């Protein structure tokens, strides 16, 4: 099970961080980044079938493929932003974390404008 691997990586990284923090606290961020990267590599295999399933469903329905691509990009940005915010907070830089979070939200909103515009156009067409 992959969840066991993910939990194992997290716990091993935590133990190493607790031990190293006493002697060389400047290396803690590197361990955290390596653990995060390993976990991301493990979950990448699980993302591909999800994308294929959504694409198949999109092709069978009247959903615009461009909207699906946008939604996948927005989801990716949300995940990556959360990852970066967590790293910043782990490093004790909550001010930078809040700026990264704000930047991610602004980018997500700007990317979702075509979907919102299409939705509003549909609502206007339905209303008499």
| pLDDT per position as a tens digit, 18-52 | 999 899 988 888 998 899 889 988 888 888 888 88
- Structure tokens of 121? 């156009």
pLDDT reported for residue 50? 86
- Answer whether residue 62 shows pLDDT above 80: no
Whole-prediction pTM: 0.75
pLDDT reported for residue 104? 94
- Answer whether residue 74 shows pLDDT above 90: yes
How far is residue 86's CA from residue 68's CA, in Å, rounded to a whole number? 27
The DSSP code for 62 is S
Which residues touch 32 (CB under 8 Å, ≥6 apart)?
Answer: 13, 17, 87, 90, 91
User: 3-state DSSP call for residue 112?
Assistant: coil
* DSSP H stretches of helix in 61-112: 65-90, 94-111
Q: What is the tally of helices (H) and strands (E) in the chain?
A: 5, 0
- Answer whether residue 8 shows pLDDT above 90: yes
pLDDT reported for residue 101? 94
- Answer whether residue 11 shows pLDDT above 90: yes
- Answer whether residue 2 shows pLDDT above 90: no
In degrees to the nearest 10, what's the CA dihedral of 38, 40, 45, 46? 130
- Answer whether residue 85 shows pLDDT above 80: yes
The DSSP code for 26 is G
- Answer whether residue 93 shows pLDDT above 90: no
- Residue in the block written with tokens 């990716």: 76
């Amino acid at each position: 099970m992959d969840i066991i691997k993910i939990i194992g990586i997290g716990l091993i990284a935590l133990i190493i961080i607790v031990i190293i923090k006493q002697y060389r606290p400047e290396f803690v961020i590197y361990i955290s980044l390596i653990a995060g990267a390993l976990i991301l590599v493990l979950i990448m295999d699980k993302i591909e079938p999800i994308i294929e399933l959504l694409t198949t469903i999109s092709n069978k329905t009247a959903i615009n493929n461009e909207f699906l691509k946008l939604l996948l990009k927005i989801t990716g940005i949300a995940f990556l932003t959360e990852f970066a915010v967590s790293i910043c907070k782990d490093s004790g830089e909550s001010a930078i974390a809040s700026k990264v979070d704000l930047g991610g939200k602004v980018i997500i909103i700007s990317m979702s404008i075509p979907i919102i515009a299409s939705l509003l156009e549909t609502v206007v067409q339905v209303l008499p």
